[in-house]
Amino acid sequence: MSNEMYHTKVLILGSGPAGLCAAIYAARAGLNPILIHGMEPGGQMTITTDVENYPGFSDIIQGPWLMRQMQTQAEKVGTQMFQDIITSIDLGCYPFVCQGDTENSYTGDSLILATGAQARWLGLDSETKFKGFGVSACATCDGFFYRSKTVAVIGGGNTAVEEALFLTQHANKVILVHRRSTLRAEKILQDRLFDNSKIDVIWDHAVEEIIGTDDPPSVTGLRIRHVTTEALQEIELDGVFIAIGHDPTTTLFRGKLAMDDEGYIATANDSTQTSVPGVFAAGDVQDKVFRQAVTAAGTGCMAALEAAKFIAEHPNK
């Protein structure tokens, strides 16, 4: 355990594209930013494989590689990085204070919140029981274990379709189970899904239960329910991937700044400014519409520019 205090003009929480891009801009503006990252530096992009929509790369690149590049770039231009879990935050004082799990505290004349979002779960007891034993929210992390097996992917958005496509590299059969009869995913991804002979889609079904053995814990099937007829059906399979969206990582900020009903941080129009002057929010923590690496990076850039302006305008705050 350490017990140090660190002060910076720009304190950044989060190490996804938003946090790292904010760090690059703040460092290049001579503001010596400090960036705090948790146990998984790089954020959601580190559990993505192929990235073909981040501009600047004509060949497919890998998410973890892209994040390592951004981190190296941020450090090279002068960002100080700390691994710590922030356990409390005080926005009522100035400078703002973040207390870490290491017992370090970090103070910032401005604060950029870029803590991102995390995978959503169905909330079934059987899902909790088999998490890590056949139930996963990350195909790129766990797909390898399903070589020549049958798996299901739950959801109908981009994530679900990408996970299903990725899993065909390992599994023999991938069943996409969706609660409606149309997908939310982009057309190009839908086309790839429907063209892939290893993928079956089961429409209009919700997951009732994940079935498995106790000792050792292992998934053997899925019980699904038709959303209108209520008819139940069981499918034999070896793994279930949940891909039903994300929730913003904002528990720590609850009651301290304005948020919407879903917990996304509210920001001013065309700005990353939150309800607390000097505190800015960038990336998925404030964006439930676009949620792309490139838009997260863009709002990270905006947050750094706005933080620099705030510091210049409040030299003696």
| Residue 184 binds ligand NDP, judged by CB under 6 A | yes
Is 236 strand, coil or helix? Answer: strand
**Rounded to the nearest 10 degrees, how much is the dihedral formed by the CA atoms of 153, 157, 161, 167?**
-40
* Of 38, 221, 245, 263, the one binding ligand NDP by CB under 6 A: 245
| Residue 294 binds ligand NDP, judged by CB under 6 A | no
CA distance 295 to 301: 10
| Residue 297 binds ligand NDP, judged by CB under 6 A | no
* Residues between 82 and 101 that touch ligand NDP (CB under 6 A): none
**Residue 230 has which token pair?**
């209520």
- Least separation in angstroms between residue 244's CB and ligand NDP is 4
- Least separation in angstroms between residue 307's CB and ligand NDP is 26
- Least separation in angstroms between residue 246's CB and ligand NDP is 6
Residue 6: strand pairing partners: 106
- Least separation in angstroms between residue 177's CB and ligand NDP is 8
CA distance 28 to 36: 18
- Cβ(170)–Cβ(146) below 8 Å: yes
Contact segment (CB under 6 A) with ligand NDP among 4-12, 151-159, 257-265, 275-283 equals 151-159
Is 16 strand, coil or helix? Answer: coil
Q: Is 98 a catalytic residue?
A: no
| Residue 157 binds ligand NDP, judged by CB under 6 A | yes
- Least separation in angstroms between residue 32's CB and ligand NDP is 33
202 or 305: CB nearest ligand NDP: 202
- Cβ(79)–Cβ(33) below 8 Å: yes
| Residue 156 binds ligand NDP, judged by CB under 6 A | yes
List the beta strands (DSSP E) in 144-198. 150-154, 173-177
In degrees and rounded to multiples of 5, residue 45 shows phi and psi of -65, -20
152 or 301: CB nearest ligand NDP: 152
Residue 209: strand pairing partners: 223
Rounded to 5°, angle at Cα 283 from 277 and 287: 90
Kind of pairing, strands 117-119 and 246-248? antiparallel
CA distance 301 to 29: 11
**Residue 245 has which token pair?**
């969206």
* Of 71, 105, 136, 158, the one binding ligand NDP by CB under 6 A: 158
| Residue 181 binds ligand NDP, judged by CB under 6 A | no
Q: Is 141 a catalytic residue?
A: yes
| Closest residue by Cα to residue 207 from 227, 229, 223, 193 | 223
Q: Which of 109, 142, 238, 287 is catalytic?
A: 142
| Residue 46 binds ligand NDP, judged by CB under 6 A | no
| Residue 246 binds ligand NDP, judged by CB under 6 A | yes
CA distance 15 to 93: 25
| Residue 53 binds ligand NDP, judged by CB under 6 A | yes
7 or 223: CB nearest ligand NDP: 223
- Least separation in angstroms between residue 308's CB and ligand NDP is 29
Q: Is 301 a catalytic residue?
A: no
Q: Which sequence positions are flagged as catalytic?
A: 138, 141-142
Residues forming contacts to ligand NDP in the complex (CB under 6 A) are 53, 122, 154-160, 162, 179-180, 184, 206, 244-246, 291-292
